[in-house]
């Protein structure tokens, strides 16, 4: 099996200020874990230039929380892949559940965004996850397959070579109801198997992060599962010590 480098990504969502961006990044930089964990911060778009300045010369990567599916032009309010790259972003979260369920991004839009970002030099962190009623109805695997298949159909399996997947059960995001390590492992291994149906090598190498109420005190157990390669962290990434403890747990 490939030795996958753990990745811990902060998703600050629509939180913060110039002052808190500086304070958080200062704290992260001072106590970063070693090179055996990759650490990434996905900042609100307007703070990306500030975060890029703060992170200059540091090992912490910079990412965005969404991106346009279009290259440039008359798309009021949108931010393009090239704009993000110009400010040093290397990653972008695609298809976060809040984009899907609050802003109505359907599987087709998510697939277009993944295809465009991944094809133009940003690494996509593709979020997949079922809602509570879907889990209770026993259709979790069907939902995950549909979300994943839409992207594979558009972008092709080769586009996953240096992409990342985040399994984020919607019922666990921001709720304090973390998936059990076993529930996370079951979903992660299912996702890896779906990819292996197309390409074993890509399935073996791709990092699958868990997201959904990861905290300093549950991270180690979640990250100890065979197919959990790190985390996508919302609330706990807004507290320096909590986020750093989660990064340590991924080592």
Catalytic residue positions?
A: 96, 168
Tell me how far the alpha carbon of residue 182 is from its chain's centroid.
Answer: 20
Q: Which is nearer to ligand PEP, 118 or 213 (CB)?
A: 213
Among 62, 152, 234, 249, binds ligand PEP (CB under 6 A): 234
Window of 51-59, 78-86, 157-165, 167-175 that interacts with ligand PEP by CB under 6 A: 167-175
Task: Give the residue closest to ligand PEP by C-beta.
Answer: 234
- In this structure, what DSSP letter does residue 237 have? G
Window of 20-28, 31-39, 56-64, 226-234 that interacts with ligand PEP by CB under 6 A: 226-234
Among 118, 147, 194, 213, binds ligand PEP (CB under 6 A): 213
235 touches ligand PEP by CB under 6 A: yes
Cβ neighbours, 10 Å, residue 36:
9
In angstroms, rounded to a whole number, what is the distance separating the alpha carbons of residues 162 and 179? Answer: 26
Cβ neighbours, 10 Å, residue 10:
25
Q: Which is nearer to ligand PEP, 63 or 235 (CB)?
A: 235
One-character DSSP codes across 143-207: HHHHHHHHHHHHH-GGGGTT-EEEE--GGGTTTS-PPPHHHHHHHHHHHHHHHHTT-HHHHHH-E
Contacts of 180 (CB under 8 A, 6+ apart): none
Q: Which is nearer to ligand PEP, 63 or 212 (CB)?
A: 212
Q: Site residues (CB under 6 A) for ligand PEP?
A: 11, 13, 96, 168, 173-174, 211-214, 232-236
């Amino acid at each position: 099996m490939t030795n996958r480098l753990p990745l811990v990504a902060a998703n600050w969502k629509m939180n913060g200020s110039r002052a808190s961006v500086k304070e958080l990044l200062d704290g992260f930089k001072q106590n970063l874990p070693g090179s055996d964990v990759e650490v990434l911060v996905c900042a609100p778009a307007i703070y990306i230039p500030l975060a890029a300045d703060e992170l200059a010369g540091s090992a912490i990567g910079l990412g965005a929380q969404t991106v346009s599916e279009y290259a440039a032009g008359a798309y009021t309010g949108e931010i393009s892949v090239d704009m993000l790259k110009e400010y040093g972003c290397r990653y972008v979260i695609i298809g976060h559940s809040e984009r899907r369920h609050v802003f109505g991004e359907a599987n087709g839009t998510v697939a277009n965004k993944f295809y465009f970002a991944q094809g133009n030099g940003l690494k996509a962190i593709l979020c997949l996850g079922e809602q509570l009623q879907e889990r209770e109805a026993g259709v979790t695997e069907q939902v995950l397959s549909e979300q994943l298949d839409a992207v594979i159909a558009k972008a092709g399996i080769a586009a996953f070579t240096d992409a990342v997947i985040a399994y984020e059960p919607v019922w666990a995001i921001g709720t304090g109801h973390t998936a059990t390590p076993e529930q996370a492992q079951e979903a992660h291994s299912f996702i890896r198997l779906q990819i292996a149906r197309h390409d074993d090598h890509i399935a073996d190498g791709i990092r699958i992060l868990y997201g959904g109420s990861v905290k300093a005190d549950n991270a180690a157990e979640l990250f100890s599962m065979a197919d959990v390669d790190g985390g996508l962290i919302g609330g706990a990434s807004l507290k320096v010590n909590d986020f750093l403890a989660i990064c340590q747990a991924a080592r």
